[in-house]
Amino acid sequence: MSYRKHFGAVMVLGLPLAGSQIAQVSLSLVDAAMLGWYDTTALAGEIIGSSLFFVLFIAGTGFAAGLAPLVAAAEGRGDTTAARRVTRMALWLSMLAGLMALPFLLQAERIFLFLGQKPEIAAAAGDYLGILAWGIFPAQGAAALKSYLAALERSRTVLVATLVSVAVNALGNYVLIFGSWGAPELGIQGAAISSLIMHAATLAFLVAYIQRVLPGQELFVRLWRPDWEAFWAVFRLGWPISLTLICEVGLFAFSSIMMGWVGEVALVAHGIAMQITSVTFMIHLGLSQAATVRAGRAHGRGTMTDINRGAAAALVLSGVVSVLTIGLFLGMPRTLMALFLDPASPDLPEIVSFGTILLAAAAVYQFADAYQVLALGILRGLQDTRRPMLVAAVSYWIVGVPSAYLLAFPLGLGGIGIWIGLAIGLAMAAVWLMMRLWRGVLPRVQREISEQYGINAGTAPTAV
């Protein structure tokens, strides 16, 4: 394929995936926006509560992320049976991950009190997660099925499913948070109930779609039956991705904890700024997922030129998005921050002022954040997951978190110091992962293909 065709292929696959990721993050964004208009303490509780839910949810989605390159490679070589087998076992692993996360979600208030959060904020987070905790199971199942459909290059369906979930969540929030249309006014608990309904509805939509549109795949036939070869194939590729995701998302979640030590106003401004930056990051994540699928299919076919050109196309597109994002964060930060707050709130000027500084800091690390996630996506498509896990652990937790703490507290920079620390960790990860991709993995894959070893038979199970 030519470069032009690769640009088109990445955009056709990546833009719906980016849209679905934006819609996914809009779920918590809608919660934050509506609770911000309801009560700032409830908003602070939702910020730290959703951070914990997101960390534990992401920890389990490593198996869904690992599923994509396995299905893409299997489809690339025409092995539909192998694709079906690994998908079933990815669903098993996703449910097991949800079961492991459940006790932490149900004990959220105690966890946040132990981490030094104010009692009223910890109580609000506990109320939120006491209900939403049970949504971890449908959320994990939906993540696996979305990954499966993305690997089949049915990204528009993934987008539609996520947009439906956003609509369901927004409507439920309006009714249950504020007590509209005769419903009880439940505040933060109403937001949790709405999110729980949304996760269940999303999973039901995806199952119904696959059953109706892809009946020949027989994806749910004998789902109860163990397939240990496929199970361990997904596990071997997925557990390093899970730990990588924990390292990255945990970095941002712990930044919320540290910001809570600074103060409630700082925490609210940080939470809003994070919601805004997460929307733009999801575009890069969508392009990264597209790069995973494209690299996985090219790897399955054994076409090195397509691997290189597809990676280059994704990098250029992500760079363009970064430039536009920097302009947005520097050009209209106050407008963006004010969208999440009641104009009559007495804390509005202070929150917006602090958030403006945080968005300027976010503009600094846009390229680093974009390229670290894009490198991870391409490496996953080539089934390289263990070394990136170590890179993430060192960059985010040995460098990023200590830098954030040192700058914020001993050196007295406060909240801005936390965000500078985030930028340091992301920059280190971006440089290190790019070096591994271009100097390590791509030359290795080139040698394998030149020796006619185009399919990693040690990872994907053979068809039976």
The secondary structure of 191-211, three-state, reads HHHHHHHHHHHHHHHHHHHHH
Query: What pLDDT, on a 0 to 100 scale, did the predictor assign at position 24?
Result: 67
pLDDT tens for 329-347 read 998 888 888 877 767 777 7
Query: What pLDDT, on a 0 to 100 scale, did the predictor assign at position 178?
Result: 83
Distance from C-alpha of 18 to C-alpha of 21, rounded to nearest angstrom: 5
Distance from C-alpha of 288 to C-alpha of 375, rounded to nearest angstrom: 8
User: Coil, helix or strand for 117?
Assistant: coil
Query: What pLDDT, on a 0 to 100 scale, did the predictor assign at position 456?
Result: 44
Local structure of residue 394 (DSSP, 8 states): I
CB 370, CB 225: distance < 8 Å: no
Averaged confidence pLDDT in the chain: 84
Query: What pLDDT, on a 0 to 100 scale, did the predictor assign at position 163?
Result: 82
Query: What pLDDT, on a 0 to 100 scale, did the predictor assign at position 394?
Result: 93
Query: What pLDDT, on a 0 to 100 scale, did the predictor assign at position 452?
Result: 56
Query: What pLDDT, on a 0 to 100 scale, did the predictor assign at position 136?
Result: 92
The share of the chain scoring above pLDDT 90, in percent, equals 19
Query: What pLDDT, on a 0 to 100 scale, did the predictor assign at position 88?
Result: 92
Dmax (CA) for the chain in angstroms is 69
pLDDT tens for 182-223 read 787 888 888 889 889 888 988 999 999 999 888 877 888 888
Distance from C-alpha of 409 to C-alpha of 254, rounded to nearest angstrom: 14
Distance from C-alpha of 184 to C-alpha of 233, rounded to nearest angstrom: 48
The parts of the chain modelled with pLDDT lower than 70 are: 1, 14, 23-29, 342, 452-464
Buried b (16+ CB within 10 A) or exposed e, 151-178: bbbbbbbbbbbbbebbebbbebbbbbbb
Query: Angle 228-262/401-408 helices, nearest 10 degrees?
Result: 10
Please name the residues in contact with 387: beta carbons below 8 A apart, sequence gap of 6 or more: 436
Handedness of CA 194, 255, 99, 62 (dihedral sign): positive
